[in-house]
Amino acid sequence: PELADAFIADAVEAVRAQVGGGKVLLALSGGVDSSVVAALLVKAIGKQLISVHVNHGLMRKGESEEVIEVFRDGMGANLIYVDASDRFLGLLEGVADPETKRKLIGGEFVNVFAEEAARLEGVGFLGQGTIYPDILESEEGVKAHHNVGGLPQDMDFELVEPVKLLYKDEVRVVGRQLGLPESMVERQPFPGPGLGVRCLGAITRDRLEALREADAVVREEIEAAGEDIWQYFCVVPDMRATGVRDGRRAFDWTVIIRCVNTVDAMTAEVPELDWPLLRRITARVLAEVPGVCRVAYDLTPKPVGTIEWE
Ligand code: XMP
């Protein structure tokens, strides 16, 4: 905590020196890195930070609400909330190919963000949640840097990257010290395209809603059980299975629970979840989530499976 305080004090100084009286724009997804950067920048420059949270309609249950609650209500941050759900879901209608879905979601995200940015005046800086492993990975050419380069070329901003020399666990310590809730600081990884790549195949609103509700149950139960699992979620395939409910034939969706432990997401193992926990999740999903008549647990390690299903 003392080290974190020292880091925060230095970072605040550095940001103030870099930005002066200027305005900083930040895409605030609610992930660990962007949340910590937002909290740090609010502390450093207050209302000179303009955060934009784009809800693409593929967020987990309660996630956008938490971003608003923590930053706007809790910290008095200057936060623009854009509910772009209809726009994204409209664009994705009928699109089943995973890579096409990813490209559409990523591209539309940039469009929405750029439109918001164009509405603002006098913004000279762009805040980013770049962390040290991002820099290492892009130097090694392992993957394109997902934090840099996603924005249109004509947006001419100077970058503000206050946590770019920190590792993930250090970012979490700083976030905690800045008063962010544990749910945010310890948030499990969540892909940029969100539930979009977990509602398999062509996304429909009703199946997406079933996925969101089932995902909330999985998270609640695993967290309540105190299980320490790296990533846990579910997917809902675009096919139906036969069941029987209240004495009548049902033909509904399957929720597949996916849990993995990993160090670097390159390989992953499936934890041996406590059987009563699996049974509780199953019972709740079947009782609480409309349109689902089956629950399965995915036993596949990576490799051969990937962590996500598409
Ligand atoms: P896979 O499925 O490749 O996932 O084993 C490895 C890790 O990366 C996450 N993931 C993504 N993250 N955009 C992201 O920001 C994506 O398109 C994406 N696809 C997978 C996945 O959740 C896991 O942690």
Domain boundaries, the chain: 2-185, 198-297
Q: pLDDT of 34-79, one tens digit each?
A: 999 999 999 999 999 999 999 999 999 999 999 999 999 999 999 9
| CA-wise closest residue to 11 among 32, 40, 34 | 40
DSSP E strands in 210-280: the ranges are 231-235, 240-245, 248-260
CATH code, 198-297: 3.30.300.10
Q: What SS3 class is residue 92? A: helix
Binding residues for ATP: 29-35
Give rounded-to-5 percent helix, strand, coil for the chain.
45, 20, 35
Neighbour-count burial of 264, counting CB atoms closer than 10 A to its CB (0-12 exposed, 13-18 middle, 19+ buried) = exposed
Structure confidence at residue 101 (pLDDT): 98
**Which residue's C-alpha comes closest to atom 11 of ligand 1?**
191
Amino acid at 97: D
Please tell me the distance between residue 47's alpha carbon and the centre of ligand 1 in angstroms. 33
Q: Which residue has the tokens 């996630």?
A: 63
Determine phi and psi for 5, rounding to 5 degrees: -60, -40
**Which residue's C-alpha comes closest to atom 19 of ligand 1?**
191
Please tell me the distance between residue 67's alpha carbon and the centre of ligand 1 in angstroms. 22
With a Cβ cut-off of 6 Å, ligand 1 is lined by 102, 189, 191-193, 231, 265, 302, 306-308
| CA-wise closest residue to 303 among 265, 255, 257 | 265
Q: What ipTM, to 2 d.p.?
A: 0.99
Q: Confidence class of residue 169 from pLDDT cuts 50, 70 and 90?
A: very high
Q: pLDDT of 131-160, one tens digit each?
A: 999 998 888 765 444 444 456 556 689 999
Please tell me the distance between residue 308's alpha carbon and the centre of ligand 1 in angstroms. 6
Please tell me the distance between residue 93's alpha carbon and the centre of ligand 1 in angstroms. 22
**Which residue's C-alpha comes closest to atom 18 of ligand 1?**
191
Compute the CA torsion angle 280, 283, 285, 287 (nearest 10 deg): -140
In CATH terms, the fold of domain 2-185 is Rossmann fold (3.40.50)
Same CATH fold assignment for domains 2-185 and 198-297: no
**Which residue's C-alpha comes closest to atom 7 of ligand 1?**
265
Q: How far is CA 166 from CA 44, 110, 113, 163, 217, in A?
A: 18, 26, 26, 5, 33
Calculate mean pLDDT across residues 240-259.
97
Structure confidence at residue 298 (pLDDT): 98
Q: pLDDT of 205-215, one tens digit each?
A: 999 999 999 99
Q: pLDDT of 115-126, one tens digit each?
A: 999 999 999 999
Structure confidence at residue 145 (pLDDT): 45
Q: Are 129 and 31 in contact (CB under 8 A)?
A: yes
Please tell me the distance between residue 260's alpha carbon and the centre of ligand 1 in angstroms. 12
Binding residues: 29-35
Structure confidence at residue 156 (pLDDT): 81
Q: Residue 256 forms beta bridges with which residues?
A: 235, 296
Write the CB contacts of 214 (distance below 8 Å, at least 6 apart in sequence): 234, 236, 255, 285, 289, 292
